[in-house]
Amino acid sequence: MIERRKTRAVYVGNVKIGDDAPIVVQSMTDTKTHDIESTLNQINRLYEAGCEIIRVAVPREEDALALPEIVKNSPIPVIADIHFSPRIAFLSLESGIHGIRLNPGNINDEGKIREILQECKRKNIAVRIGVNSGSLEQRLLDKYGYPSAQALVESALNWSEFFEKVGFTNFKVSIKGSDVLENVEANRIFASKTDIPLHIGITEAGPSGKGTVKSAVGIGILLYMGIGDTVRVSLTAPPEEEIKVAYDILASLGLRRRGIEIISCPTCGRIEVDLPKVVKEVEEKLKDVKLPIKVAIMGCVVNAIGEAKEADIGLACGYKSAILFKEGNPIKRVSEEEMIDELLKEIKQMEGGVG
Ligand code: SF4
């Protein structure tokens, strides 16, 4: 059982982050924000996949001007991602958005940042201080020589103190480096010094395969240490994939579950069925099921039920047939042709039972 770090609560719209709230899963659209239709379509798809907060890039005025329509029609709170421009920040704050993400290091004008925070306070808009290895203040780069964990922490602590000194506390922090160890170290140090909620993730993790591994390792270590109140997995892939990976990471640590979790064996010489094909088909057919259950698809009858004892339901395949089992007990033998349909039928019944 993971004991989570005690943090104070921050609200992005109606979504609570920190304190006793479940770890919130968020993502970012990759559409042009001023293309309102595409952006809202993607937000809706992400919402369906389980995304709880969405961030949109606001690089230009036309993007800020699209925000009111996006916020009005989004099923989840919207965060505007602002870099460099206080003007775009002020414009975005007029749109009804629920949060902004600022990298104060690249605005670098304390007077303007103070004004932005005053406006956020007045409108109850949450802020994320986003410290990234790629955009650290020059002063810290000169001091540390490169964006080390200490340099990232110093930047995050300085800006947190600045926010608190001007009376603004509705904020969370993210400290992201693309190097997993640096990232873990920076978040660990920061977490030991404050109760400010942390948004965690490995930035620029890469394409699906490597990026998923890197994210799972980095985010997984932090979560295991109890660190992290909201998660964003960054992949060079459609953002829906980020949501799936985020839930898979959280589920594998027993922190949150959503939808089906498939457990399948690695196969061995006992196998008498095309297991990868069966798993792929089951995964595809169950992708819209929201019931958080574990489904085991095992390659043989000999060890399968024992190996998959923590599954809620499953198939132990054999020669031209399979045993369907539920909560560790065999319930019936089914033929190879009907085994997937029988499994789906049982799961639909379980879904119906839950309502
Ligand atoms: S479940 Fe059966 S086929 Fe799969 S790895 Fe175990 S023993 Fe081998």
- Judge if 160 and 297 occupy the same domain: no
Is the distance from CB of 47 to CB of 75 less than 8 angstroms?
A: yes
- Judge if 348 and 202 occupy the same domain: no
Model pLDDT, residue 353: 65
Percent of the chain surpassing pLDDT 90: 75
Domain of 323 in residue numbering reads as: 261-354
Q: Is 21 inside any structural domain?
A: yes
Residue nearest to atom 7 of ligand 1 (CA): 303
- Judge if 188 and 152 occupy the same domain: yes
**pLDDT-derived band of residue 204, with 50, 70 and 90 as boundaries?**
confident
Q: Is 305 inside any structural domain?
A: yes
Compute, in degrees rounded to 10, the torsion defined by CA atoms 61, 62, 68, 70.
-130
Residue nearest to atom 3 of ligand 1 (CA): 299
Q: Is 347 inside any structural domain?
A: yes
Q: Is 33 inside any structural domain?
A: yes
The helix (run of H) or strand (run of E) holding residue 317 is strand 313-317
- CA dist 87 and 73 (Å) reads 24
Q: For position 131, which CATH number holds?
A: 3.20.20.20
- Judge if 271 and 317 occupy the same domain: yes
Q: Quickly count: other Cβ atoms within 10 Å of residue 153's Cβ.
A: 23
- Judge if 194 and 268 occupy the same domain: no
Q: Quickly count: other Cβ atoms within 10 Å of residue 316's Cβ.
A: 26
Helix (H, G, I), strand (E, B) or coil at 171: strand
Model pLDDT, residue 197: 98
Q: Is 4 inside any structural domain?
A: no
**pLDDT-derived band of residue 171, with 50, 70 and 90 as boundaries?**
very high
| 120-146 burial code (b ≥16 CB/10 A, e <16) | beeeebbbbbbbbbeebbeebeeebee
- Short-list 76, 81, 75, 142, CA closest to 107: 81
Ligand 1 atom with the shortest distance to the CA of 271: 3
Q: Is 1 inside any structural domain?
A: no
- Measured from CB, residues less than 6 Å from any atom of ligand 1 are 265-268, 270-271, 298-300, 302-304, 307
- CA dist 113 and 117 (Å) reads 6
Q: Is 129 inside any structural domain?
A: yes
Model pLDDT, residue 355: 38
Q: Which of 209, 232, 252 is the last residue of a domain?
A: 252
- Judge if 49 and 161 occupy the same domain: yes
Query: Tokens for 140?
Result: 């810290």
Q: Which of 252, 273, 292 is the last residue of a domain?
A: 252
**Average pLDDT along the chain:** 92
Q: Cα 97 vs. chain centroid, distance in angstroms? A: 20
Distance 18 CA to ligand 1 centre (A): 41
Distance 303 CA to ligand 1 centre (A): 6
- Judge if 174 and 242 occupy the same domain: yes
φ/ψ (deg, to 5) at 237: -165, 170
Q: For position 308, which CATH number holds?
A: 3.30.413.10
- CA dist 339 and 165 (Å) reads 63
Distances (CA, A) of 259 to 251, 262, 283, 293, 351: 10, 10, 11, 7, 11
- CA dist 48 and 56 (Å) reads 17
* pTM of the complete model: 0.88
- Judge if 94 and 155 occupy the same domain: yes
**pLDDT-derived band of residue 178, with 50, 70 and 90 as boundaries?**
low
Report which DSSP code applies to 2: P
- Judge if 241 and 283 occupy the same domain: no
Residue nearest to atom 8 of ligand 1 (CA): 268
- Count the domains in the chain: 2
Q: Which of 252, 277, 294 is the last residue of a domain?
A: 252
- CA dist 22 and 92 (Å) reads 28
- Strands 294-298, 261-264: pairing is parallel
φ/ψ (deg, to 5) at 229: -110, -20
- Judge if 198 and 122 occupy the same domain: yes
Mean pLDDT in residue range 77-95:
95
Burial (CB count within 10 angstroms: exposed 0-12, middle 13-18, buried 19+), residue 300: buried
Model pLDDT, residue 126: 98
Distance 243 CA to ligand 1 centre (A): 30
Query: Tokens for 114?
Result: 């103070």
- CA dist 161 and 179 (Å) reads 26
pLDDT in tens, 220-261: 999 999 999 999 999 998 999 999 999 999 999 999 988 888
